[in-house]
Amino acid sequence: MKNAERTARTKAALIEAAVQLFGERGYGATSLKAIGERARVSHGVIPFHFGSKEGLLLAVVETLFARFSDAVIAPLLRGRRDWGSRDLEAVMRAQLAFQIEHPEVGRLFQVLMFEAIGPQPELRPYFVEFHERLHGLGCAWVREGVARGALRDDLDVEATVTALLSFFTGLRTHTLLAEGRVDPVRVHEQMLAIVTAGTSLLQTTGRPADATREPPTDPATRGTDADEHGA
């Protein structure tokens, strides 16, 4: 085996071991020695290949983002697009399939995210950068959909994308906490119906969306409102 191939295999083994152990124990509680043992290589090579433990974490994040992109984003870019509800459904279904097929990835990101906002603040920049990349991709798609007339032109683009990303994060959290009591497919289908109705050019009534329409009044407050206006 050539040195380049041996190096690539060693780095891949260390990254996979880190994915498993960071997800099981958290970043802070995982030692380089444990990662080396899981990968069946000397932990002394980790600084050589990645510079540091944080360097290994960065390699983990980049590797998983590439896998996510290949599984969820790339198929959409290769296929026939409508920039509207069909694209939205394709992305959400691909994301769900990725989550089901790679539960260790979802667990890892949830564990590291909670560490980043808690005891391991040094992780925070990695998650900020990762979410900014996803948010940027989402915003670009929504803006293009609006420009092409496939999505409602009154959408708050950044808030819409943030809501979608928050849904994915929340579903992973509930799935992990509920230990089999949450059906992610069922929840996904319900969310897809809600989001499609809320972002498509036509509402479920078949009428064009009206951005100027006032929100419905709470029946419990109608009498009070009428009194205030002298009705």
CATH of the domain at 130: 1.10.357.10
What's the pLDDT score for residue 157?
95
| 160, 151 Cβ separation under 8 angstroms | no
Determine, yes or no, domain membership for 104: yes
Q: For residue 134, which amino acid is it?
A: L
What's the pLDDT score for residue 210?
40
H or E element: which one contains 35?
helix 32-39
Determine, yes or no, domain membership for 163: yes
Q: Answer yes or no: is pLDDT of 44 > 70.
A: yes
Rounded Cα–Cα distance for residues 84 and 76 (Å): 12
Mean pLDDT for the stretch of residues 156-170: 94
| 171, 187 Cβ separation under 8 angstroms | yes
Burial pattern 160-171, b for ≥16 Cβ within 10 A else e, equals bbeebeebbeeb
Determine, yes or no, domain membership for 43: no
Determine, yes or no, domain membership for 5: no
Per the structure, the count of domains in the chain is: 1
Q: Which domain holds residue 78?
A: 58-205
pLDDT tens for residues 4-33? 899 999 999 999 999 999 999 999 999 999
Determine, yes or no, domain membership for 107: yes
Determine, yes or no, domain membership for 124: yes
In 117-220, alpha helices (H):
124-147, 157-178, 184-199
Mean pLDDT for the stretch of residues 152-181: 92
pLDDT tens for residues 177-227? 998 899 999 999 999 999 888 887 643 334 344 433 344 444 444 444 444
Determine, yes or no, domain membership for 97: yes
What residue has token string 């970043």? 27
pLDDT tens for residues 100-117? 999 999 999 999 999 999
Determine, yes or no, domain membership for 74: yes
